[in-house]
Amino acid sequence: MEILPFMILAGICVVMLKGIIDFIRGKRLRAGMRESRFSTELFYGLIIIYIMVMVGFGLIYFMLSLEGIILVEDGVPREVGVSGSLIHSMYFSGVTLLTIGYGDITPIGIGRFIALVEALIGYILPAAFVMRLVQQGQRSRGE
């Protein structure tokens, strides 16, 4: 069993987790942006976090698919090439994170737990966004 894929997997998880924690704690992406009712900085931060999480989980599914099939299309396990596996992994990650859940691709094995974690993050991120927006508004009114 090779250690390199698991080291890459751990690195992806650390980067995603750090981005989510920094977003929730309210760290600035760029210093010097002016405050407004609608925080474009916060909005762009949310978009970046969503993309990071989607690509990160897509890479996790892809790396796991190299070890064996974890995504099943239309209920039938199919062997696809590397590029097809990457495309399926990114698509499944986006559908899961955005809680669309078409059902055309389903995870099996450990992929089910990973999809559950990703869907949970997909539910929590908008709430964290609203919470940051409210906190930012209260802070600006207090000054």
Count of residues making up the chain: 143
| pTM (2 d.p.) | 0.75
Mean pLDDT of 74-83: 83
Q: Using one digit for the tens of pLDDT, what is the confidence trace for 96-133?
A: 999 888 889 999 988 999 999 999 999 998 888 888 87
| pLDDT of res. 70 | 80
Identify the burial level of 52 via C-beta atoms within 10 angstroms of its C-beta, where 0-12 means exposed, 13-18 middle and 19 or more buried.
Answer: middle
Name beta bridge partners: 106. Answer: 72
pLDDT exceeds cutoff 80 at 25: no
Phi/psi of residue 27, nearest 5 degrees: -70, 140
pLDDT exceeds cutoff 60 at 32: no
Which domains are assigned to the chain? 4-22+40-137 (1.10.287.70)
For residue 95, how many C-alpha atoms fall within 13 Å in the half-sphere facing its CB? 15
H-only helix segments in 26-39: none
